Amino acid sequence: MIAAIEGYALGGGCELALACDIIIASRTARLGQPEINVGIMPGAGGTQRLLRTIGKYRTALLTLTGEPLSAVQAFNAGMLSEVCDEGAALQRACAIAARIAAQPPLAVRAIKALLATGEDAPLHSMLKLERSAFVQLFDSEDQKEGMTAFLEKRMPTYCGH
Pairing of strands 8-10, 30-32: parallel
Exposed / middle / buried, residue 39 (Cβ in 10 Å: 0-12, 13-18, 19+): exposed
- Measure CA 58 to chain center: 19
Helix axes 123-138, 141-151, angle to 10 degrees: 70
- For 89-106, the DSSP string reads HHHHHHHHHHHHHTS-HH
Question: Is 35 an active-site residue?
Answer: yes
Q: Spot the catalytic one: 15, 67, 141, 145.
A: 15
Q: Spot the catalytic one: 35, 82, 130, 145.
A: 35
Question: Is 15 an active-site residue?
Answer: yes
The residues facing 84 across adjacent strands are 26
Rounded CA-CA distance 5/160 in Å is: 31
Instruction: List the catalytic residues.
Output: 15, 35
